[in-house]
Structure 1
Amino acid sequence: METRAELRRRIRQQRSKLTAAQQTEATQQLVDLLLPELLKRQVQHIALYLSNDGELNTLPLIQALWQHNILVALPVLHPFSPGHLLFLHYHPDSPMTTNRYGIAEPRLDISQLVPLHKLDLILTPLVAFDKQGNRLGMGGGFYDRTLACSNAPAAMGIAHECQKVSALPVESWDIPLPEIATPDALYQFSTPNLHL
């Protein structure tokens, strides 16, 4: 089996080979698949992320959620607790900054904080996933730590179909996802998750 580092490298290379047209089509397919599902579930407060490194573009989904008056929160690197995330309300006029990984995030403003227990769902990025719902991230453990919190809401991964692998090497700290959305399907897994 490939190591986690090898898998990350291979899947990120695959993802980077998608053309602009393929990315645009995949993004629209994801919105068409996911938005009706989120509305059906009556999600009112959702955490998302801004795409980076060839990830599916989340901006059209965010804009669609805004049109339905759904509060969107984005992750921010916790300033005092390394390796942890905060979630801040994100709206069209949010002042933004760039974190140490080169990813845009809302400027820290405690009045915009959305506590974990107020979120209905966290949509997480990932590098790869398998048929058991295991998720391979970028290696920082930010989402695993967040999802391990007792007050964390349900989570769903977002990925291109090319990010699916048959099996991932799993570590004790990895938190599997009960659902992963791709432009082609909404995969549901029978993963043990205390927050569902």
Structure 2
Amino acid sequence: MRVDVSKERMQARSLLRRKLREARRGLSMEQQDYASQRISKQLNTLPFIKNSKTVAGYLVNDGEVNLKNYIESIWQLSHKAFALPVLHPICKGHLLFLSYSPNSRLINNKYNIEEPVLSCKAVIPVTQCDVILMPLVGFDTNGNRLGMGGGYYDRTLSFTQRKFNSQPALNQHTPKLVGIAHDVQEVDALPIAPWDVPLDAIVTPSRTLIFTKP
């Protein structure tokens, strides 16, 4: 089904995306390190994350918050698994999630972002992820997320939204979606599009915003 979005709204999203990417790339190494440490501590205190078995995240790119500290804390826990997104080799514009450990071999995808080497036995179905930590370009306090513009997360996670899923599978597990951001990426209100998948929570170095029941 085609969804029409005005040219003006698309231009506004593009301009805002450019501005916010510049803002996060402009942060100093000290600010980036501080953000990584603070967010790792906050993630480790959230009950719905502490109680999860499988957490998916991302590897840093383009000034995003680096999850290195948090990932290493997960690796120290025997009862948790961590996964990373991989560009889907068949379903164009979608993501797969693969288990990620200290021994995982990484390659650069077409966007020059590191991802695990594709292996069928390492695939973790998205419905088996309890929490997905998502990078973003911008956010607002209504739980809206502005991504890089490729739409990969929105397509992959559209099943979490009732408007895209009129007949959800019985007992289908839906992961909690958590945006990870620097404080400078906050805006008063995002120019959202119908396909944007809203977040359950947003974590920045200074605070955590919860939008749905834990």
Determine helix, strand or coil for the equivalent of 1:75.
strand
Hey, what does 1:180 align to over in structure 2?
202
**Aligned AA for 2:101?**
H
Hey, what does 2:142 align to over in structure 1?
132
Hey, what does 1:158 align to over in structure 2?
180
Task: Please report how far the alpha carbon of residue 190 of structure 1 lies from its aligned counterpart in structure 2 after TM superposition.
Answer: 5.1
Could you tell me how far apart the structure 2 residues matched to 1:7 and 1:39 are? 31
Equivalent residue for 1:83, pick from 84, 89, 93: 93
Hey, what does 2:154 align to over in structure 1?
144
Hey, what does 1:63 align to over in structure 2?
72
Task: Please report how far the alpha carbon of residue 24 of structure 1 lies from its aligned counterpart in structure 2 after TM superposition.
Answer: 0.6
TM-score (norm 2): 0.85
Question: Is 1:93–2:103 an aligned residue pair?
Answer: yes
Could you tell me how far apart the structure 1 residues matched to 2:196 and 2:181 are? 17
Could you tell me how far apart the structure 2 residues matched to 1:37 and 1:155 are? 13
Equivalent residue for 2:31, pick from 10, 19, 22: 22
Task: Please report how far the alpha carbon of residue 72 of structure 1 lies from its aligned counterpart in structure 2 after TM superposition.
Answer: 0.3
1:140-160 deviations in Å (ceiling 9; x for gaps)? 111111221255412110000
Hey, what does 2:193 align to over in structure 1?
171
Could you say what the CA RMSD is over the residues aligned between the two structures, in angstroms?
1.8
User: Any conservation in 2 of the 1:147–1:155 contact (CA below 8 Å)?
Assistant: no
Task: Please report how far the alpha carbon of residue 118 of structure 1 lies from its aligned counterpart in structure 2 after TM superposition.
Answer: 1.3
Could you tell me how far apart the structure 2 residues matched to 1:159 and 1:91 are? 24
TM-score (norm 1): 0.92
Task: Please report how far the alpha carbon of residue 43 of structure 1 lies from its aligned counterpart in structure 2 after TM superposition.
Answer: 1.1
Could you tell me how far apart the structure 2 residues matched to 1:159 and 1:6 are? 18
Could you tell me how far apart the structure 1 residues matched to 2:206 and 2:186 are? 12
Gaps of 5+ in 2: 1-8, 161-171
**Aligned AA for 1:68?**
L
Task: Please report how far the alpha carbon of residue 134 of structure 1 lies from its aligned counterpart in structure 2 after TM superposition.
Answer: 0.6
**Aligned AA for 2:176?**
A
User: Any conservation in 1 of the 2:44–2:50 contact (CA below 8 Å)?
Assistant: no
Gaps of 5+ in 1: none
User: Any conservation in 2 of the 1:74–1:88 contact (CA below 8 Å)?
Assistant: yes
**Aligned AA for 2:85?**
P
Task: Please report how far the alpha carbon of residue 40 of structure 1 lies from its aligned counterpart in structure 2 after TM superposition.
Answer: 6.3
Task: Please report how far the alpha carbon of residue 189 of structure 1 lies from its aligned counterpart in structure 2 after TM superposition.
Answer: 2.2
Equivalent residue for 1:47, pick from 43, 56, 78: 56
Determine helix, strand or coil for the equivalent of 1:10.
helix
Could you tell me how far apart the structure 2 residues matched to 1:51 and 1:41 are? 22
Determine helix, strand or coil for the equivalent of 1:36.
coil
Q: Which has the larger radius of gyration?
A: 2
**Aligned AA for 2:203?**
A
User: Any conservation in 2 of the 1:129–1:135 contact (CA below 8 Å)?
Assistant: yes
Determine helix, strand or coil for the equivalent of 1:81.
coil
Task: Please report how far the alpha carbon of residue 36 of structure 1 lies from its aligned counterpart in structure 2 after TM superposition.
Answer: 2.0
